């Protein structure tokens, strides 16, 4: 990763090797800022099926203190979708397109006071997965930037995506309805995922015989890591779903 890069986006990778993760880790160690926009579930929109996504990032993220769930979050506050029913087109609520309504979260005391979200209205995350902070907050600041309403629930294992087959957008008893975190920001210092481990070899040697590999860093300077459990909200097809997308 070139030295002049200050912010690196990692958006919906299919699969990352150990060397890929090493380069990302070392970018963070040298003070670069990381933004992960990643899905916990792979969705086939053509066939309306989904399955847990395996991109190789779980162990890296959990080392930094963020657990990504391979679920689909549903919420009573959601975006509506248009679907055909015979010769008609009907508009209906679609709980799998979660609408994070910042003003409502502020009224409920669930929105943090942070400049990234303070001026936002609503962000729609299509087929989002939840996140959990599992690290030690000692010395670091942690913000739950995007959250669902307290009336959200989840699908796991077998996923139903077809709007006509989903139950009404109401919490289902026993599904553990609660507010769930969809975006986490950590600011502070981090320890390398590869500290004390053998260095992964690059697939192709990028350095000449006269140059040397940069030294491995085991501790970072002050930096920041942002993880969002969704990658689709920034894509052209979905950017107009929410006022703040």
- For residue range 144-173, list pLDDT tens digits in order: 999 999 999 999 988 989 888 887 766 566
Please state the pTM of the whole predicted model: 0.91
pLDDT band at 206 (very low <50, low <70, confident <90, very high): low
Separation in Å, CA 45 to CA 83, 87, 126, 197 = 13, 22, 11, 40
Diameter of the chain measured on Cα atoms: 70
Over residues 23-63, the pLDDT tens digits come to 999 999 999 999 999 999 999 988 889 999 999 999 999 99
Query: What pLDDT, on a 0 to 100 scale, did the predictor assign at position 220?
Result: 95
In terms of C-beta density within 10 A (0-12 exposed, 13-18 middle, 19 or more buried), how is residue 19 classed? middle
**Start-to-end CA span in the chain (Å):** 28
Alpha carbon distance 157, 155 (integer Å): 7
Using DSSP's 3-state secondary structure scheme, residue 129 falls into coil
Average pLDDT, the chain: 90
Per DSSP bridges, beta strands 33-37 and 7-11 are parallel
């Amino acid at each position: 990763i070139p030295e002049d890069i200050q912010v690196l986006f990692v958006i919906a990778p299919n699969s990352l090797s150990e060397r890929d993760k090493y380069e990302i880790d070392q970018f963070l160690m040298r003070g670069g800022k990381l933004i992960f926009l990643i899905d916990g579930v792979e969705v086939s929109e053509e066939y309306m099926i989904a399955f847990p996504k395996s991109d190789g990032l779980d162990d890296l993220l959990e080392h930094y203190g963020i657990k990504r769930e391979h679920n689909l979050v549903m919420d009573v506050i959601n975006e509506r979708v248009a679907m055909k029913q015979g010769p008609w087109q009907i508009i209906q609520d679609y709980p799998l397109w979660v609408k994070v309504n910042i003003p409502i979260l502020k009224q409920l005391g669930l929105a943090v006071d942070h400049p990234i979200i303070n001026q936002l209205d609503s962000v729609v995350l299509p087929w989002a997965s939840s996140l959990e902070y599992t690290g030690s907050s000692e010395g670091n600041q942690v913000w739950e930037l995007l959250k669902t309403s307290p009336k959200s629930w989840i699908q796991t294992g077998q996923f139903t995506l077809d709007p006509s087959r989903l139950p009404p957008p109401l919490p289902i008893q026993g599904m553990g309805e609660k507010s769930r975190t969809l975006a986490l920001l950590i600011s502070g210092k981090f320890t390398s995922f590869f500290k004390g481990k053998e260095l992964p070899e690059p697939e192709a040697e990028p350095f000449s015989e006269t140059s040397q590999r940069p030294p491995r860093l085991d501790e970072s300077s002050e930096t920041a890591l942002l993880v969002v459990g969704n990658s689709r909200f920034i894509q052209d097809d979905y950017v107009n779903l929410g006022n703040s997308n």
